[in-house]
Amino acid sequence: MIILAVESSCDETSVAIVEDGKKVLSHIVLSQIDIHAVYGGVVPEIASRNHVVHMTRVFERALKEANITEIDIDLVAVTEGPGLIGSLLTGINAATAFAFAHGKKIVGINHLVGHIYAANIDYDIKFPALALLISGGHTELIYMSDHMNFKLLGTTMDDAVGEAYDKVARTLGLPYPGGPVVDKLAQLGIDSYHLPRPFLDKKEFNFSFSGLKSAVINVVHNAHQKNEEIRINDMCASFQASVLDVIIEKTRLAAHAFSVNQIIVAGGVAANKGLRNRIHQEIPGYEIIMPKMEYCTDNAAMIGAAAYHHYLKKGALPNYLLGGTSTLSIED
Q: In angstroms, rounded to a whole number, what is the distance separating the alpha carbons of residues 19 and 169? A: 38
Query: Cβ of residue 7: shortest distance to Zn ion, in angstroms?
Result: 8
Task: Name beta bridge partners: 150.
Answer: 144, 330
Query: Residue 176: exposed, middle, or buried by beta-carbon count in 10 A (0-12, 13-18, 19+)?
Result: middle
User: In sequence order, which residues have a C-beta less than 8 Å from that of residue 40 and are 6 or more positions away?
Assistant: 170, 176
User: What's the min distance (Å) between Cβ of 81 and ligand KG4?
Assistant: 12
Measured from the CB atom, the residue of 7 and 191 that comes closer to Zn ion is: 7
Q: Which residues bind ligand KG4 (CB under 6 A)?
A: 10, 135-137, 162, 165-166, 177-180, 183, 267-269, 271-272, 297-298
Angle between helices 232-257 and 178-186 (to 10 degrees): 100
Partner interacting with residue 177 (select from Zn ion, ligand KG4, none; CB below 5-8 Å by kind) = ligand KG4
135 binds Zn ion (CB under 5 A): yes
* Beta carbon of residue 142, minimum distance to ligand KG4 (angstroms, whole number): 15
Measured CA to CA, the distance from residue 149 to residue 135 in angstroms comes to 20
Give the HSE-up count for residue 148: Cα atoms under 13 Å, Cβ half-sphere: 17
Q: Which is nearer to Zn ion, 3 or 269 (CB)?
A: 269
Coil, helix or strand at residue 37: helix
Q: Which of residues 263-302 bind Zn ion (CB under 5 A)?
A: 298
Q: What is the four-CA torsion angle of 88, 93, 94, 96, rounded to 10 degrees?
A: 120
Q: Do 247 and 132 form a contact (C-beta atoms < 8 A)?
A: yes
Residue 80 in the binding site for Zn ion (CB under 5 A): no
Nearer to ligand KG4, 108 or 268 (CB): 268
- Report the interhelical angle of 232-257 vs 161-171 (nearest 10°): 170
Residue 178 contact partner, candidates Zn ion, ligand KG4, none, CB within 5 to 8 A by sort of partner: ligand KG4
Closest contact distance (angstroms) between CB of 207 and ligand KG4 is: 15
Compute the least distance from the CB of residue 135 to ligand KG4, in Å. Answer: 3
Nearer to ligand KG4, 189 or 268 (CB): 268
Minimal distance, residue 275 CB to Zn ion, in Å: 16
**Contact call for residue 140 and Zn ion (CB under 5 A):** no
- Residues found near Zn ion in the complex (CB under 5 A): 135, 298
